[in-house]
Amino acid sequence: MNEKTRSIDGDVLNEEITLTYRYSLGEVAGKFMAGLRDGKILATRCSKSGMVYLPPRSFCERSFEKCDSWVEAALEGVVEASTIVVRGFEGSRPPPVAIAFVRLDGVDSAIANYVEEIDLSDVEVAMQTIAVGARVRVKFIEKPTGSVTDFYFVPAS
């Protein structure tokens, strides 16, 4: 806690608290983030269950065995769920923004990210381009920093 301000305002006590965290990536997420810097999306695979996980896991939740190999995911896949966030969220980007969970080819699970290069002026029309089953492909930002938003999805066609 590096900052704390308090003030009484009528019948209310105001307090502002700022917290700082340092999250350890660990080996698996660390390797994934390093892969992004090389333009690769790396998944883990469990040879016992055959499951390929993205985000990558150290352990397979089906076989209860260690995921024992790394697989490079295809840079194209299918939308499994999506929405357009119109208002009410003070995230890193001002709304409207499109987000989707996409199952990349060769991977069993879906990973979330922004969908760009779609016209969001008509939300109804935009939703159809990212509906469940729509094909999208991965694009990388110009200078990847080793963060999940180094990549984003765009419509495949």
Q: What angle do CA 157, 37, 45 make, to 5 degrees?
A: 75
The answer to the question of residue 71 lying near other proteins (CB under 8 A) is no
| Binding residue (CB under 8 A) for other proteins from 75, 127, 135, 144 | 127
Per DSSP, 8 falls in state E
The radius of gyration of the chain from alpha carbons, rounded to an integer in Å, stands at 19
| Binding range to other proteins, per CB under 8 A, among 1-9, 37-45, 54-62, 66-74 | 54-62
Q: Which is nearer to other proteins, 66 or 93 (CB)?
A: 93
Residues 6+ apart with CB under 8 A from 51: 45, 60, 62, 63, 108, 109
Contacts to other proteins by CB under 8 A: 11, 15, 17, 21, 23, 25, 29, 32-33, 51, 53-55, 61, 80-93, 95, 97, 99-101, 103, 108-114, 123, 127, 131-132, 147-149
